[in-house]
Every structure is written in structure tokens, then in C-alpha cells.
Structure 1
Amino acid sequence: MPQPAKGARLHKFKHRQYWYIRDTGQPDRSTGCTSRIEAEKALAAYIATRGRQGAANEPENVTCGEVLAIYAEEHAPTVADPVRIGYAIEALLPFWSDLKLSHVKGETCRRYAKWRDNAPATSRRELGVLQAAMNYAHREGYVTSAPIVTLPPKPEGTLRWLTRDEAARLLWAAYRGHKSQHLARFILIGLYTGTRKDAILRMGFEPNTVGGWFDLERGVMYRKSDAERSTKKRRTPSRIPRQLAAHLRRWKAEGCTWAVEYQGGRIGDIKRAFPKAVAEAGLEGVTPHTLKHTAITWALHNGATIWDAAGFFATSAETIEKVYGHQAPDYQDSALRAVERAK
């Protein structure tokens, strides 16, 4: 009696570095991957597209893992920040990998959010990637339809900003650590410009292909390079405040190439240094994004208009008004005067 076909699977030859895909009746094909995890993604993409001949499959015949693999392989490389998609897929796969698209429904999505046991906003982002992957597969003709993902309720936005005293404590905690003085530079730039973390860490003193740069001669900060792809996160130029310009000139005179660097090299992330400084400063609920909140809040306290704040901080006027508008000294001023005059 013939043995049943084993189907597509991964195989590692003893003296070869790459993983291979073996499939009954087909020649072995290299995945080009030395990592088992990456090879499994290649296998999922192979299974998802095998023998289709251009015909779309029904949702009950395709797994979420296959769709996520297609999304990672075909779409992620075309976006400005594929790493974010990668993080989400890495979180999604342990739960969704073997489930069919037809299993995507409210109950399963709620079970995933409970299984993840993390911040609702994080689960929302991850499930959003699953929805985007299914939509992509449908749009590209891999599946006949894309189920609707049920997202956790959107959490109420919290606006944590630093007082002047808290900002001083955070700066001092960063500065006194001999291995984290680069963090003090990051904090100063964030407080004065309200620029996002990734953009700050890519800033240099000359035009470059990595990110933006400080034009100290003209007093303008360019938040991204000409080579970078635009994203939904606005990174428009803005003028450099004179207090920050003084620090920047000093750093450049010291021979620095990057605004935030350590021993001559650009700092890629502050995921350990920043929380450590926050703890040493005795603060709670403070993240790198808090610096943006702080910069905008301080500006509105000092009388900046919503229109000017939107341009300077590369944030839409609608967001400034919705999230920070109540911080302006004239918030609801005309309405209050009208009510107080009422008889």
C-alpha cells in the first residue's frame, strides 16, 4: 500500500546552509533562508500560492499564516517602515498561524486580545496588520474575500506631559550617567522641537541618506532626507529654537556627525537608556513620545496658535486642536465670556 503524500515541508540537508522546501512530485527548492523562522515564512508563502494558476481560494482553504507570509514577502518591503509590520506578524503568528481565514470573527479576535494580555492599543495595531494582510490577499487575487477583524475598543487618549521640574530631573538623570549622555541630547531635541523618536535618532549635521539634518547656517531642521519615503507621520521642516541651536553648534564643533551619537557612532535606539533615566528621575508614565506632548503643551501655554503649532511640530491642526487645544490659555475663552454675560 503506497504511503500517503507528506505534502510541502521544510528539509535541512546536512552539508547545506539553507533550508529547502520538499513537496511530493516537485523538485526540492531552496528558501534562501538559514533561519528556521524565516524558512517557515517562505514555506507558508509557497503553500499559499502553490497550484493556484491565478484562481483565488476560498477563506476556508487558506490559513492566516499563509496570508501573513504573503503580506510580509510582497507588501512589507514596499513600505517606509517594514519593521513595524514584522513586529506585528511575529506577535500574530503563534495564535493565528494555523487558523483559517474563515475563523476570523469577533469571538476569535477577542480571544486573541485576551491571549495577548497586553495594552489594548497594541492588540489593535497587531489585528490591524492581520486585516491589512487579508485585504491585500483579496486585492491581489489570492482569496475570494477578506473577513472583517473585530478590533478591541479604542482606548481613551492620555496626554502625559512633563512639568519644567520633571523635565529638569529627567535631563539630569540622563546627563549624569557617563554612558547615557547621548540621551540628554535626545531629550533636549525632543523638548525643543517635539520631533518623534525615530526622526531624532536619524538626525545629522549634514545632508545624509539616513534621515534629516540640522542646517545651522539657515536655522532650519529638516526632519527627513530627500531619499526617505513619506509616511503618515508628518516630518516637515521647522525653524531651530535659539536655545537648541546653541547646543547643536557646540556638539558639531566637538566633531559630532550625528545629533545623538555615542563614541562617534549613531545611536539606533534608546529602549534601555530612556526607561532607566525615567526611573532614576522618579517619574511614571513617561515614554519618548511624552517629549512631543510636552513640547506642544509648553508652546500652547506660552501662547502659540494652533495653526503655528501645527506647522512647527509637524502635526495636523485637527490633532493639535483635538488633543492639546485645552492647554491653550484662551481655550473656550469666547464661549466662557458669552456664558458669563448671560442674564
Structure 2
Amino acid sequence: MPRPAKGARLHKFKHRPHWYIRDTGQPDRSTGQRSRVEAEKELAAYIATRGRTGVANEPENVTCGEVLAIYAEEYAPTVAAPERIGYALDALLPYWSGLKLAHVKGETCRRYVKWRDKSHGTVRRELGVLQAAMNYAHKEGYVTSAPTVTMPPKPESKERWLTRDEAARLLWAAYRGHKSSHLARFILIALYTGTRKDAILRMGFEPNTVGGWFDLDRGLMYRRGTDERATNKRRTPAPIPRQLRAHLARWRASGYKWAVEYQGARVGDVKRAFSKARTDAGLPGVTPHTLKHTAITWNLQNGASIWDAAGFFATSAETIEKTYGHHSPSHQASALKAAENRRN
């Protein structure tokens, strides 16, 4: 039985200074590069352009690495957050790059799940990029058809939210931290507005090119900057709660330019500070995203309608209903009333 083709790869001859590209059925070709890093760029360009004759290829003649390279080169630059595609490619390529599209089936997908050894949510996002890349290649005429990726089971929605006491403990741990007072500001904004972590960390007190901003004069928060492109993570404007507006005004009066800053600079991430505060507060498993769950849960518990909550938190009404709806005092109220008033 013949060995399966290895696909395009780099090769270093013992007595030659440059790296070469080897590909099944093709003559060896020099990259002209002595550096492995630069040679890998030449290899990526070779894979991305190989076989583009204008005629669609059959799935058994095209590797996953080739369609992923095409997707990265042609489609990724057009999206608002290309780095998310990049993260998925880094995970996908070591396993899939040499496999043909015809090899994409339930068995190989299940092997990938075991090989990655990550949460199903993470693997589903990565395999979603593989599916999108194959669909793109099919749509653009590079391949005659796109196989269907077999996904692992969708994880249950995380419903962890903080009680008022837990939130107070977390805030106190953040305030008490010598270098993490910026974290307390982040937590307050998240609890009042349910805004996602990345959006909060980009928000300032004036319009900017990085992200959104708080218009304290009009009492509105803009989660997305004017130069930022829209993504699937909706970041619509919303009114600023009265209590938070007072905090923001005080911070701005103190000279802050950014809602969450440290020593005059915008904070890029709160991962380490949050982890320490979480430990000090005795709240294992709590993440920054838990604060969004908490904000929405409290809002519904206080009587907000699902429609208004969806608009305020920039989350679809379907998600609010499915994940948080049972926290509302009016949840299934009409059904309960009908059941209790049932006539003989």
C-alpha cells in the first residue's frame, strides 16, 4: 500500500545554505532563505497560491492547510477581529494542515477533539473556522464541494452569577489590593452595565480611536468607537446608570483619561489582578464574564423586561430569554396564573 502524500513542507539539505520546499509530485524549489522563520513565510505563500488555475479541485486533491491559508489571506483581513481567526488557525494547522478535505469526517473531527484536549466550547470555535474556510473555498471556486465538520456537543450555558454579598467581597478584594484599584473600577462598570471585558478596557472619557467612551454630559455610554468595525458581539449605546455616572464623574475629575487605567496608561488586561482578587475573595471559578451574567441576572430580578434588558445589555432577546429569563419575577407568570385559576 503506498504511503500517503505528506504535502508541502520545508526541507534542509545538508550541504546547501537555503531551505527548500518539498511537495509531492513537484520538483524541490529553493526558498532563497537561510532563516527558518523566513522560509516558513515562503512556504505559507506557496501553499496559499498553489493550484490556483481557475479550475475547482476535488476535495481529495486539496489539503486543509491550503484552504486555511486562502481563508487567512483573502477573508481574514476583511473582518473586524482577524486575530480571532488567527488564534484558531494556530490551533488547527498542526493537526489539519496535511490532511485532505476529503479526510474531514466524523472520525478525524473526533480525533481532533481528543488531540486538542480543550473545552468543547473552544474546540467548536476552532472547528467553526475550519468549516468557514472550506465553505469560503467552495464559494470562491477553489474546490468543488465543502465537507461538513462534525462538532462536539455544545456546552451548557454558564449561569454562574454573583450574589450581592459575593460581589461586595470581590470589590473589597480589588480595592484592598495595592496595585489593583483599577480592577475595582472595572468591576463596577461591568456590574452596572454588563459590558464585555475587552469593550470596557477600551473605553475612555472622550471619543477615541481605540474603543468606546462615556458621554457624561448626555449620560450615554458608547461601547464601540467610531472607527471600530461592528462584530457579532453587539456593542450598542445605552444610558449610564445614575450610581455609575457619579463614580465616572469622580474618576474623570481626578484626571483619568480612561475608565480603567493604571499609572496614567490604559489597562490592556485584568487577568492577573482579577485572578488575585478572586482568590482573596474566595470565589473560585468566577471570571470577568461572570460579571456580565451577574448584571443581567440582577436586572431581571429587579423587574426589567426581557426586551429592555436585551437593548441595554446589547444581547439578543433570545439569549436573555434562554439563559436568564427564569430570574424574572414575571417568568411564566401567565402560565402560573392560568394553572392556579383552573376551573373544574
RMSD: 2.6
Q: Is 1:10–1:43's contact at 8 Å kept on the other side of the alignment?
A: no
State the partner residue of 1:268.
268
Distance 1:65 1:158 in 2: 34
Q: What do the CA deviations read for 1:62-93 (whole angstroms, capped 9, x no partner)?
A: 22122212212221111111111111111111
Distance 2:202 2:19 in 1: 38
Distance 1:30 1:215 in 2: 55
State the partner residue of 2:317.
317
Judge which range, 193-202 or 49-58, deviates more: 49-58
Structure 1 SS opposite 2:298: helix
Q: 1:22 to 1:42 in 2, by over 3 A?
A: closer
Q: What do the CA deviations read for 1:217-253 (whole angstroms, capped 9, x no partner)?
A: 1110001111111111111111111111111111111
Question: Aligned partner of 1:67: which letter?
Answer: V
Q: 1:11 to 1:224 in 2, by over 3 A?
A: farther
Q: What are the residue-to-residue correspondences of 1:190-201 with 2, within 5 Å? A: 190-201=190-201
TM-superposed deviation, 1:100: 1.3
Question: Aligned partner of 1:222: which letter?
Answer: Y
Q: 1:170 to 1:34 in 2, by over 3 A?
A: farther
State the partner residue of 1:330.
330
Q: Is 1:49–1:142's contact at 8 Å kept on the other side of the alignment?
A: no
State the partner residue of 2:206.
206
Q: What are the residue-to-residue correspondences of 1:250-265 with 2, within 5 Å? A: 250-265=250-265
Q: 1:262 to 1:27 in 2, by over 3 A?
A: same
TM-superposed deviation, 1:266: 1.0
Q: 1:341 to 1:139 in 2, by over 3 A?
A: same
State the partner residue of 1:67.
67
Q: 1:52 to 1:302 in 2, by over 3 A?
A: closer
Q: Is 2:105–2:147's contact at 8 Å kept on the other side of the alignment?
A: yes
Distance 1:294 1:219 in 2: 22
Distance 2:225 2:147 in 1: 38
Q: 1:39 to 1:337 in 2, by over 3 A?
A: farther
Distance 1:94 1:20 in 2: 20
Question: Aligned partner of 1:90: which letter?
Answer: D
Q: 1:341 to 1:48 in 2, by over 3 A?
A: same
State the partner residue of 1:228.
228
TM-superposed deviation, 1:284: 2.5
Judge which range, 210-219 or 70-79, deviates more: 70-79
Distance 1:11 1:266 in 2: 45
Structure 1 SS opposite 2:125: helix
Q: What do the CA deviations read for 1:127-147 (whole angstroms, capped 9, x no partner)?
A: 111111111112222222211
Q: What are the residue-to-residue correspondences of 1:52-63 with 2, within 5 Å? A: 52-63=52-63
Q: Is 1:10–1:40's contact at 8 Å kept on the other side of the alignment?
A: no
Question: Aligned partner of 1:314: which letter?
Answer: A
Q: Is 1:206–1:215's contact at 8 Å kept on the other side of the alignment?
A: yes
Question: Aligned partner of 1:318: which letter?
Answer: E
Question: Aligned partner of 2:305: which letter?
Answer: T
State the partner residue of 2:133.
133
Q: Is 1:67–1:137's contact at 8 Å kept on the other side of the alignment?
A: yes
TM-superposed deviation, 1:272: 2.1
Distance 2:116 2:127 in 1: 11
Q: Give structure 2 stretches of 5+ with no counterpart.
A: 1-6
Q: 1:44 to 1:57 in 2, by over 3 A?
A: farther
State the partner residue of 1:279.
279
Q: What do the CA deviations read for 1:94-132 (whole angstroms, capped 9, x no partner)?
A: 211211111110010011101111111111111111111
Distance 1:281 1:30 in 2: 57
Q: Is 2:47–2:69's contact at 8 Å kept on the other side of the alignment?
A: no
1:339 aligns with 2:339: yes
Q: Is 2:76–2:85's contact at 8 Å kept on the other side of the alignment?
A: yes
Q: 1:63 to 1:306 in 2, by over 3 A?
A: same
Compute the TM-score of the two structures, normalised by the length of structure 1: 0.89
Q: Give structure 1 stretches of 5+ with no counterpart.
A: 1-5
Question: Aligned partner of 1:157: which letter?
Answer: S
